[in-house]
Amino acid sequence: MSFLTYAPSVFVIGEEYELLLCLRSHGLLSVRVGDTLYYEENSGALPTERTVARVRVPQAALNAARGYEVIFRAAIDRRAYYSLFEEEERESYPFSPLPAKGDIHVYLVADVHSLFESAARTVTYFGEELHLLIAAGDIAEVEREEDFLAVIDFLGKATGGRLPILMVRGNHDTRGHLAERFTDYFPADGRKTYYSFDLGRFVGVVLDCGEDKPDAFQGTDKEGKLLPPSYNGVNIFEAYRRRETEFLRSLSFPEDGRPRIAVCHIPPAITTCHKGDIFDIEHEVYAAWNAELERLGIDVMLSGHLHKIFLAMPDDERNTLPHAYPILVGAWPKNYKSVIGTAITLTDTGLTYRFTDEEHAVLEEGHLDFVR
Ligand SMILES: [Fe+2]
């Protein structure tokens, strides 16, 4: 039996990969890439008393090595002196970086809402030719640790630890008992769930709108009677979004002609398909984001959340805010029974998108040339 409970997830952040490794028991862990051993972030004292481990490795090292070895020694007793461990166990995983040239096959999945069996079939559209999985939020709920582990199981089965994953937080990932622990499992820059990345063939930025309603939101019941505050003080996303504005203002990409892609669960320029409703929020802040995304020359934004599938060009009538970049909204949990996502074939100059279901049927397809 493996000492890992699920296949590893290899998340993309900055110019690194973050390996997420779930352990059956406490113990010492390292990851060997080439001749180098990598460890969890530590202060010199290595962690042993946990079952979720995360190890950062440089993308360049893992891309060159095309594989890694996870090394584990189960803890018998960690002591001040003379700690005891079981014999060393090792597991090797191959790794496939993005292809150096030609088509890049990306599958965008979001809004799974715990429909894991359907989503597992949907994301196999490219089969062995998948190069990158983008999990763009609302994969499950975050009430119990089992919810996180179910997501990790899903990602592990979808990629086998062999492919990079871009992981993005959705609004459902901010609700419930374990919302505050999202960044204990999934990649973040410190505690910040927004960050840039460089995948060699393209660069980009992950953004996070947080919740879909104002922090102080209070709904009404069917008779129009005011309900208690939805969040009752647990959210300060309005300040978080303003910090993201400052992050975007500080961001720049190399001027080397590579595609620039933004990923955000909620498209900030189409926060709702019903203008003026409770989700039509943050015009001022999201307009500032849009201005920065346009300054950054974003070629396309990939999103979910709306439970619809469409490509929104700048003149799309669904826009809640003007934007100059195309937005591919590509996740639909149809009738909350079957998950539809987007198969993207990305080149250096554009992309072809196909909205596909769990039978791999193509519901709609189109092409987008990046405008430079
Ligand atoms: Fe959502």
How many Å lie between the centroid of ligand 1 and the Cα of residue 26? 34
How many Å lie between the centroid of ligand 1 and the Cα of residue 117? 19
pLDDT at 315: 85
Beta strand pairing status for 362-369 and 350-356? antiparallel
Closest CA to 354 of 345, 119, 130, 127: 345
Q: Which residues pair with 365 in a beta bridge?
A: 354
Rounded CA gap, 143 and 251, in Å? 34
How many Å lie between the centroid of ligand 1 and the Cα of residue 174? 10
How many Å lie between the centroid of ligand 1 and the Cα of residue 88? 43
Q: Which residues of the chain fall below pLDDT 70?
A: none
**In Å, how far are 152, 172, 316, 326, 372 from 188, measured between CA atoms?**
16, 17, 32, 26, 30
9-94 CATH fold: Immunoglobulin-like (2.60.40)
Answer whether CATH 3.20.20.210 is correct for domain 104-369: no
How many Å lie between the centroid of ligand 1 and the Cα of residue 302? 13
Question: pLDDT tens digits for 147-202?
Answer: 999 999 999 999 999 999 999 999 999 999 999 999 999 999 999 999 999 999 99
pLDDT at 137: 97
Question: pLDDT tens digits for 269-319?
Answer: 999 999 999 999 999 999 999 999 999 999 999 999 999 999 999 989 999
How many Å lie between the centroid of ligand 1 and the Cα of residue 172? 6
Rounded CA gap, 83 and 73, in Å? 11
How many Å lie between the centroid of ligand 1 and the Cα of residue 227? 22
How many Å lie between the centroid of ligand 1 and the Cα of residue 304? 7
Domain spans of the chain, in order of start:
9-94, 104-369
How many Å lie between the centroid of ligand 1 and the Cα of residue 52? 26
Q: What share of the chain is helix, strand, coil (3-state, %, to 5)?
A: 20, 35, 45
**In Å, how far are 171, 224, 281 from 221, measured between CA atoms?**
22, 5, 21
How many Å lie between the centroid of ligand 1 and the Cα of residue 92? 36
How many Å lie between the centroid of ligand 1 and the Cα of residue 155? 18
Rounded CA gap, 197 and 107, in Å? 17
What residues have their beta carbon closer than 5 A to ion ligand 1?
138, 170-171, 305
pLDDT at 117: 97
